[in-house]
Structures are given as C-alpha cells and as structure tokens.
Chains A and B, each alone.
Chain A
Amino acid sequence: MLTEYAFWFLSFVAVFSGIAVIISKNPVYSVLYLIMTFFSIAGHYFLMNAQFLAAVHIIVYAGAIMVLFLYVIMMLNLNNIEVEKRSNALRLAAVVAAGLLLTILSGAAQKADQITLAEKTTAPSGLVENLGIALYKNYLLPFELASVLFLSAMVGAVYLSKKNLNETQA
C-alpha cells in the first residue's frame, strides 16, 4: 500500500519536474528541475528493489554530470536566454511535427492496456552481488568494451583540451 502511494507520488514529481525542465525560462531552474527528475527516477529504482542502480544513478547523474551542467551555466551567467525570432516556415514545421506526435500518442493510448502497477518485487536481481556476478560472468565482453569506450572518450577529452592549450601558448 505504502509502495503504491510512493509510486504515484514519485511519478507525479517525475512528470511535473520533467515538464518544468522544458518550460522554465531560467536555465538554472531547468537544471534544478532535472535533478529533481533524477531523484524521483532513483526513487522508482528503489521501489523496484534495484538499490545499486538507484545509488549509482544519484552519484553519476545528480552528483557528477548535473554539477558540471550547473557549473557551466553559472560560469556563463545565462540568466535569461532571449528567444530569437523564428520564421513562419519554422513555426509551421513545429506545428506539423507536434500534430504528428499527437496522432501517434493518441493512437498508442487507445491501444494501450490499462496501466497496472508492477508487482512489488523482492527478487535480489538489483543487489550489488548479483549485478556484479552478471556483469563479470555473463556480460564480460560488452562490459569491458564499454569500459574501453569510456577510456577512449576520456583520453580524447584530455587530448582536445591539451591541444587548445598549446595553441594559445604558441
């Protein structure tokens, strides 16, 4: 019962803050609402008994990536972005695209089943030990490939920043 209330509360917060990310004028507000969205999604992971995923979600997204976002926005001091004038063709395209999306969504909503809450799972699949065993036994190759990909991205970022440094010094 409590989990059901928690589910509805978290869903409300997630949807509300997700919409607020888009409609806020001030980019700092957008970032803060996005952090709120991440928290409510992490709450959903907890409800699904995926504690590790929830913790990592908070640490990586809310704790690291969004801090850097906020950092950049504060440094650039983007208080209010001025909305540039849009041409009529662009507006027309936006209306058509939104109309198409509405058609698809209403079609999907008609076909969709009544929303049912997932059974409260007590399966230990989300716990650290099981996740570790799965990653290192069954999915070792994809896991290692993803790690190498991250490493190459890191090396690339360092290289790019170093390159600019040399140019400015020369």
Chain B
Amino acid sequence: MTERRAEDLRDEDVLDLVLEGDREAFSILVLRHRSRVERLGMGFFHDAEEAADFTQDVFLKAYTALGSFKGRSLFSTWLLRIAYNTAVNAKQRRRESLPLDPDDILPGDIGADETHERGETIRAVRAAMDGLPPRQAVCIELFFGYSLKYAEISEITGFPVNTIKSHVFRAKKLLRERLGIGPEVDDAL
C-alpha cells in the first residue's frame, strides 16, 4: 500500500482492510492515533515508559476487539474509550490516589516565544484541572486538547454530559478571567 493511498483512507476503510485479513494496515491506525493515546497515558501515569507500555496495551486491546467495533461512534472515540478504561482500571488495580499532574497531561514549558493567549490558555486549563480527580480532569483535556464534543467525552468517560459541561464551563470562565475578557455586568445591548 503506497503512502499516498494510506493517507486517503478513512479509519473505517482501514478497519475493513484489517478485518479482511490485512494485519499490516493496522499500522496506519497506530500511526494516526498513537500520540493521542500516549498523551492520555502520560496524564494518568506521569511516566514516559509507563505511557509507552500503556499505549501498546491499548492498541493490542483494540486490535483483538476490532471485530466488535460497531461503527456507532468514530474509531478515535472508541479507541479513546478503551484507553480511558484501561488507564482507570490500571490506576484502580494499583490503588493509586495521587492527583493528576496537569504538567503531564498538558503541553510542556511555556517558552518565551509563546503568545500571550496560548500561555494564558495553558495556565487557565491547568487551573481548571487543579483539584479535580484525574478522571474528571481528563474531561477538560479532552475538550480543549482533543477538541471533542460533550457527547463524545461522555461516551469515553461515562460521565453525564451535564457534569462534563459544568467542568468545561468553569474552565472557560477561568480562561476568560486570565485573558482579561470577563463579562462586564453593566454592558447592555
């Protein structure tokens, strides 16, 4: 399969190829989604090596369960749900109660060349995640960092849409405050 052709294929087309017996086609899905799964793993485990093992575990689980993918959601949503459940179960198995470190789940250092907006956005998202249990903090990251809709986040995490909405709403409020664009009460149309 040429590079050009692989790029043109949708995830669902690649899935069909794998289910028809082309194992190597699975590498296209790994290439496309590896970094997102890895980032989720970093958010939970704070360790690159563990995140690597986690990423491998998630993709192998997805591969073995590929036949049960019903196509009701996007493949990426389905994969993130496997990743989220794997991470939560691993944490529960180890009985860890450490809070999520936002530094791990969010982009690294804010360099001098970062724009004011970007820096403030990162700080605001971090602030919104502070104090939340890891499973809920992930909701905010999935909204801002993965650009997922409330329903997709709900499907991945199992939290009700309203719970996710309220966390994201709080994060947006913080973001407005940080950017100095909060509402002005006396402002009327």
The answer to whether A and B interact is no
**A interface residues with partner B (beta carbon < 8 Å):** none
Chain B residues with a Cβ under 8 A of chain A? none
